[in-house]
Structure 1
Amino acid sequence: MRALILAAGRGKRLAESHALPKCLLEFEGRSLLERHLLILTQLGVQDIAIAIGYQAEQVEQALDTVAFLPRPQTVYNADFNKGSVVSLWTLREQLRAGGEILLMDADVLYDYRLGQRLLQSPHSNCFLLDRHLDPGEEPVKLCLRDGVLVEFRKQLPPGLRYDIIGESVGFFRFSEKVAGRLAALCQDYMEQSHQEAPHEEAIRDLLLETPERFGIEDITGLPWIEIDFPEDIRQAENIILPQLEPLKSPPLL
């Protein structure tokens, strides 16, 4: 199992109040990135590649201090100000390298049990869904009809029929074959000059090609939050952190 983390973006909506890359924001003395790595280590995943871009040197320096797992590979996205599909495309070699893939957004504070649920799922191609969906256009929505995923997008098409809707956590598990297909779709976005697209659009294309290949794990009730706005930081500190299971400190290498 290989984990790919998207950590190249600038986080423009936080730029006025926080100059750090979002993945280096700290909660109780640990950055989001360190928390990712600790959780992945606890899950037995040590083959990790990270797409970096904005203030890449700071992220590299933070990784230099990690002493509990082999140093993750970093891949630099020079076009980090464009859409996140470019970051996913920079990881194309890792997507094509064989084996199952975990794909994760770096800007999420979450409980260990979300990662555990993803790894233990019987679905080799899996989305995490939270039925506690906040209203508005910001959440990336997952919709199912008769147990089959029919949509994955912030804005749903008019008239879409579904019987379950929830928010995507931004973590995915893909089989070797599907991961390779995702790399090809990202290549198509580059060749068609769609570099401004979010990476979720390529994943949506992947899903809608063969929806029967994909399943979900319903993680409703488990604590997590994506950090996009200053108020998300406050909510993370005051509401989410107290609910998280304590992280275990693994032995040093």
Structure 2
Amino acid sequence: MAAKSSYNRTECNPRQTGSVFRLNGIILAAGRGQRLGRDIDLEKIGPKCLLPIDSRTLLERTVSDLVSFGVDTITIVVGYQAERVQEACVALGRKYNVRFGLVRNDAYLSTNTACSLQIGLSGIHDDVVIFNGDVLYDRAILDDLLKINRTAIAVDNTKPLTGESFKVRILNSRIEEMGKTVPVERATGEFIGISKIAGRDIGEAKRLLNALVSGDPNNYYDFIYQSLSESGNLAYSFTNGLKWTEIDDIRDLRYAESIAGIACGARGRF
């Protein structure tokens, strides 16, 4: 099952350029954020990527980072309140001189991130860095990930894990297990929702996503990395105590606000 895009890569403030950038960006922002929506009114804010943290949205923080790495085209997979994201992209496009391609997961209520990434990757053939739209992170984490010249994921190797953590077990430089069901005592760490797929692996990643979505539209895209690891096509970078958080509920949001002032390299501050 492949959800269709009703936007067909709608461009906001396109920039004319003769240059070809090898690094693309994808931000997954289709979800409704039901858990967080129990405590704050997301109907007024929009998707979680539009949450303001210390005066800037999560979306703007990620866009700023991508632009600093020479990315001039960013794909955003939208669904819930897509029009709000489109409006934000018009302003961000002008501010950062960047082009956005918005593609819509029309089935966002009945699918998961594998389906959204399948849509987002449809027109991409070169290196791409992928973000879950609800992640606040120290820019140094992204710096470390992009230093790796191959497909790679960022793994938190210091955070206390819980049953809800999307855990990773790494053995002999391969991912042996992945998912929330991995026992805490066996896990190496938690996948934080920031990753990179090298251009040479894009075709295989698309094939793996097609298989995941066909098997279960509610699958997480994260599982493609275990398959890529089995064939030796995956590396990883550890956060080594650098701060980050996904924002699933009100406690996550409060923590994100508490770390928003941590210095983070070229971006200046969170």
Residue pair 1:101, 1:174 contacting (<8 A) in 2 also: yes
SS of 1:49 mapped into structure 2: strand
Measure, in 2, the Cα distance between the counterparts of 1:196 and 1:143: 22
Measure, in 1, the Cα distance between the counterparts of 2:75 and 2:49: 14
SS of 2:218 mapped into structure 1: coil
Q: Alignment partner for residue 38 of structure 1, among 64, 77, 80?
A: 64
Measure, in 2, the Cα distance between the counterparts of 1:190 and 1:216: 24
Q: TM-score if structure 2 supplies the norm length? A: 0.81
Q: Alignment partner for residue 218 of structure 2, among 196, 204, 226?
A: 196
Q: TM-score if structure 1 supplies the norm length? A: 0.87
Residue pair 2:73, 2:99 contacting (<8 A) in 1 also: no
Overall identity of the aligned pairs, in %: 28
Q: Which residue of 2 aligns with 1:222?
A: 242
Q: Deviations over 1:120-171 (max 9, x none)?
A: 124x01111111232322111122123333222221279x9x6x70111111
Q: Deviations over 1:36-78 (max 9, x none)?
A: 0011111222221111101000000011111212221111110
Consecutive unaligned residues of structure 1, counting only runs of 5 or more, are none
Measure, in 2, the Cα distance between the counterparts of 1:39 and 1:179: 22
Q: CA RMSD in A?
A: 2.2
Aligned ranges for residues 1-253 of structure 1 at < 5 Å? 1-18=23-40, 19=42, 20-66=46-92, 67=94, 68-81=96-109, 82-94=111-123, 97-122=124-149, 124-156=150-182, 165-192=188-215, 194-208=216-230, 210=231, 212-238=232-258, 240-245=259-264, 247=267
Residue pair 2:67, 2:98 contacting (<8 A) in 1 also: no
How far the C-alpha of 1:248 sits from its partner, in A, is: 5.0
How far the C-alpha of 1:234 sits from its partner, in A, is: 0.6
Residue pair 2:225, 2:234 contacting (<8 A) in 1 also: no
Measure, in 2, the Cα distance between the counterparts of 1:98 and 1:88: 14
SS of 1:73 mapped into structure 2: strand
SS of 1:104 mapped into structure 2: strand
